[in-house]
Structure 1
Amino acid sequence: MVAEGWTELAENALQAFGAWNGASRLVRRRLLEAWLEDLAQVREPLALAMTRETGKPITLARGEVGRAEATLRASIDAVASFGEESVPYDLMAGADDCRATFRRFPLGPVLAITPFNFPVNLAMHKLAPALGVGCSVIWKPCPQAPTTSRLLWESFEAARVRVSAPGNLLQLAGSDPVRAEALARDPRIAAVSFTGSERVGRHLEQVLAGKRLLLELGGNGAVVVDEGVAAEAVAGQLAPAAVAGAGQSCSKAQRIYVHQRLWEAFVPAFVSAVKALPLGDPMDPATVVGPMIDEVSASRMDASLDRAVSAGATLLLRGVRQGALLPPAILTGVPEEDPLQGEEVFAPVTVLTPVATFEEGLGKAAATRFGLRASAYSRDQRHLRLAESRLRAGGVLLNLPPTFRLDASPFGGVQASGNGFEGPRWAMEGFTEGRLIVEGPAL
């Protein structure tokens, strides 16, 4: 159902939950399998709508739809194995005739709030696991991609009708943030899963105290590059991780700390690799760097570059902004207190900084309140093990860019980057509560 009445949405969700939470794993899995079949029928329309509405290059949009299918497959697989674990009470003296299991039960109706940068796959990371464990869902998608969101919802509805699942199981809500907050506060909503800005996430923490709140709030991804690695190869990996899709990714490579002995080889290689990425029309299959979500965002970032230069930074690469299309920018000498270092930069902007040692790079990389993704490149196994322990992030990538992700794996952050993990198996934990069930002999 598509509805604007928020009280009606909550009541519908509660009723749908009552009809769905007792469904067997077989029934829940069949619904997701049917959705996968229907999703395949709208691959290209989804990708085209995404590109038209968000400016994501069409090749990346098609890739995102493919990833959403992979996320749905992983959710189908997780349904089969998630939810019940045997507990060996019969190993305890006096309980050897007991049977015990640790089971997880769905919390209730879920409010899922998703952003514009991955309007299909990030939605699937919430919707499929929640439905798969027996929750009903109200989905508030981003306002920037209404056609994309509706197409995805319609593919679910077609599947739901085909397998005779309950109505209102997945409701599509409007984009009014005031009414969305009222819905989040509604006692009939058991959990809120939000991906978006730190500012909104922290506000939700304050107003939803005591309610299950799952947050993914972005980051300012750091990469530490050690001496001895192949400069051109590492630069070639990091260039798209920094600027593809206009750099509008919470796990993008934003701050790159390079060992001073590699600096002279790495910097020109990185600049060259970024310049080589096709820029422009998002409908061109060759394009890697398209426009930002809107001209206001691009203009704001353009002004941030001017401010950083005024504060002493040096530009290694910059182009002329054309509306929402902001060419990639690379800077060095950016003060540590500058927002380009300390905040999330949701744009094709990268800061390079030389460091005297790998350990110094790790220290600078970790000096942030964020903690979503971080990377380290080294040929020294001792350095890689050091990176594992010192890079405080939900995901630490070794000899890989911070954007490297398998959708079936856990993905989440610590500190200001949020709490909990997505990835179907781990998202299911967030939408359920555990219960130890112990059964003794009949008396």
Structure 2
Amino acid sequence: MDQTPVTIAGTPTTTQESVEVLNPYTGAVVAEVPLCGPDEVDRACTHAKEVLRADDLALHQRVAVLETASRLIAERAEDLARTLAVEAGKPIRTARGEVARAVDTFAFAGAEARHLGGEVLPMAASASGAGKLGFALRVPAGVVAAISPFNFPLNLVAHKLAPAIAAGCPVVLKPAPQTPLTALALVDLLVDAGLPADWISVVTDRRAEAGGPLVEHPVPAVVTFTGSVPVGWGIAAAAPRKRVLLELGSNSPLLVEPDADLDGLAARCGPAAFGFAGQSCISVQRLLVHRSVHDQLVDALARTADGLVVGDPLDEATDVGPLIAPDEADRVQSWIAEAVAAGARVVAGGDREGGVLRPTVVTGVDTDSDLWRREVFGPVVAVRAYDSFDEAIALANDSDFGLHAGVFTNDLRTALRAVRELDFGGVLVNEVPTFRADQQPYGGVRDAGNTREGPAYAIEEMTTLRFVSLQA
């Protein structure tokens, strides 16, 4: 099989060794991409520095690229969705939803770029500033190294590329080894939208052959990474003088008070917990339910889980497809078994069909188990009962992560208390924590990361304020 080339410094590039891209559902090889390493990274970074220095892509041109890209993504939606389904195992209906979000992400980035400016400072407010005109401009922070994960191989790449284009920062992109094809298609689309072919270079690898050299290369001033906690903090440690933007893990809690609509909530928890086999940072993982309605909600959720269709991602009927790799399915099953051995009970799912793990509901999960404390990244909900809202808040906050939390209640005082006391980057009232609007500030605290995404917020991270003073 011929390699699908990557573009480095504007030139289609192949290498002597290849990386196989596998279909997670069938196990078949669907493509081969180059195995890049330090040489390719150095060429990409060195050229990106020259592109930055040339500064020949004016703001209005970047706006046009972003707006045109948004339109082209919509026009090519079905092809992009099918690529997502094949290389990521994402059910086709879910993949179409990701494509629609990427349309918005580029549109929002274009809108933000249209008023990317600065501020005028009241210099005459001090005696030393009298007679001076002062203002601050937002200028590109530098070359951006972007490292993206497998689970949203279109929209999470969009959340890195679109703000960088808006900010005026050339990019060296390392997509996830499991899902490079969607990223390559997006970069080609951006060139079709008018972006110079050398503005974004792509380096592909198996895991760390290009990633380490990219992080440590002296050229990138900004590293934006979405992925695992150990890798993310390792990047921060390896690049102490760079601006490192991290979106990491979560084990999102959902708190359910007695006045919630339980049947409706169970239906909403289906896609929120089990969609894309639970492989989302904000998938519902820890379900905290008031004891008075615990059994009723568990029964409703079990019925929802049992009613979901599992199987081929390209089948229009499929709700839940495979995990990204068989060893990930093995890991999730081992965590379930560990929880059961400690006294938990599986009330739905737990069995496996090839790489597809059926949506699983586990009750009575011990708070020291991996299924509760770590990020499961699989189609599993761990349920515990609570007796008071004090207990629920404490259980939710007792986590290394702090990305999104949800609470269902019709009591305004309870809702406002949750907003005040839940220590998370986002608190969603009468909404599952899996919800994300692409224009919102998205990010967390503790091991969930250190930044906020969303085009407006990422553009700010990728620019620097430059103060200018003019003597009148």
Task: Give TM class, smaller chain.
Answer: over 0.9
Deviation digits for residues 304-339 of structure 1, max 9, x if unmatched? Answer: 211111111111112421221000111111111101
Are 2:269 and 1:235 equivalent residues in the alignment?
A: no
In structure 2, the partner of 1:82 is 116
Task: Find 1:198's aligned residue among 225, 229, 233.
Answer: 229
Comparing 123-132 with 374-383, greater Cα deviation is found at 374-383
Task: Find 2:201's aligned residue among 161, 164, 171.
Answer: 171
Deviation digits for residues 363-400 of structure 1, max 9, x if unmatched? Answer: 10001110111111111111111111211111111110
**Maintained 8 Å contact 1:193/1:213:** yes
Give 5+ residue unaligned stretches, structure 2. Answer: 1-6, 14-35
The equivalences for 1:140-159 within 5 A come to 140-159=174-193
Distance across 1 between alignment mates of 2:116 and 2:394: 38
Shift of 1:187: 1.0
Which residue identity is paired with 1:196? G
In structure 2, the partner of 1:131 is 165
In structure 1, the partner of 2:379 is 348
Task: Find 2:305's aligned residue among 251, 258, 274.
Answer: 274
Task: Find 1:111's aligned residue among 139, 145, 169.
Answer: 145
Distance across 2 between alignment mates of 1:395 and 1:63: 22
Task: Give the TM-score of the pair, scaled to structure 2.
Answer: 0.89
Shift of 1:189: 1.1
Shift of 1:97: 4.6
Task: Give the TM-score of the pair, scaled to structure 1.
Answer: 0.94
**Maintained 8 Å contact 2:305/2:359:** yes
User: Using a 3 Å threshold, how does the CA distance of structure 1 residues 88 and 265 change in structure 2: closer, same or farther?
Assistant: farther
**Maintained 8 Å contact 1:16/1:167:** no
What secondary structure is seen at the aligned counterpart in 2 of 1:104? Answer: strand
**Maintained 8 Å contact 1:251/1:372:** yes
Distance across 1 between alignment mates of 2:193 and 2:196: 11
Comparing 230-239 with 187-196, greater Cα deviation is found at 230-239
Paired positions, count: 436
In structure 1, the partner of 2:104 is 70
**Maintained 8 Å contact 1:35/1:159:** yes
Deviation digits for residues 179-230 of structure 1, max 9, x if unmatched? Answer: 3211211111111100000111121122111211000012000111111121
Which residue identity is paired with 2:252? G
The equivalences for 1:361-372 within 5 A come to 361-372=392-403
The equivalences for 1:7-406 within 5 A come to 7-20=42-55, 23-92=57-126, 95=129, 97-160=131-194, 165-176=195-206, 177-406=208-437
What secondary structure is seen at the aligned counterpart in 1 of 2:281? Answer: coil
Shift of 1:36: 2.6
User: Using a 3 Å threshold, how does the CA distance of structure 1 residues 235 and 98 change in structure 2: closer, same or farther?
Assistant: farther
Which residue identity is paired with 2:53? G
Deviation digits for residues 66-121 of structure 1, max 9, x if unmatched? Answer: 11011000000000123312333345566465433232211111110101110000
Which residue identity is paired with 1:417? A
What secondary structure is seen at the aligned counterpart in 2 of 1:419? Answer: coil
Which residue identity is paired with 1:377? F
What secondary structure is seen at the aligned counterpart in 1 of 2:332? Answer: helix
Deviation digits for residues 288-312 of structure 1, max 9, x if unmatched? Answer: 2111111111122112211111111
RMSD: 1.6
Aligned residues: percent identity?
A: 36
Give 5+ residue unaligned stretches, structure 1. Answer: none
Which residue identity is paired with 2:337? D
Distance across 2 between alignment mates of 1:194 and 1:94: 43
Deviation digits for residues 402-429 of structure 1, max 9, x if unmatched? Answer: 1111111111111101111110000011
Distance across 1 between alignment mates of 2:121 and 2:266: 49
Distance across 2 between alignment mates of 1:17 and 1:410: 27
User: Using a 3 Å threshold, how does the CA distance of structure 1 residues 340 and 83 change in structure 2: closer, same or farther?
Assistant: farther
Distance across 2 between alignment mates of 1:178 and 1:256: 39
What secondary structure is seen at the aligned counterpart in 1 of 2:385? Answer: strand
Shift of 1:278: 2.2
Distance across 1 between alignment mates of 2:72 and 2:48: 23
User: Using a 3 Å threshold, how does the CA distance of structure 1 residues 98 and 235 change in structure 2: closer, same or farther?
Assistant: farther
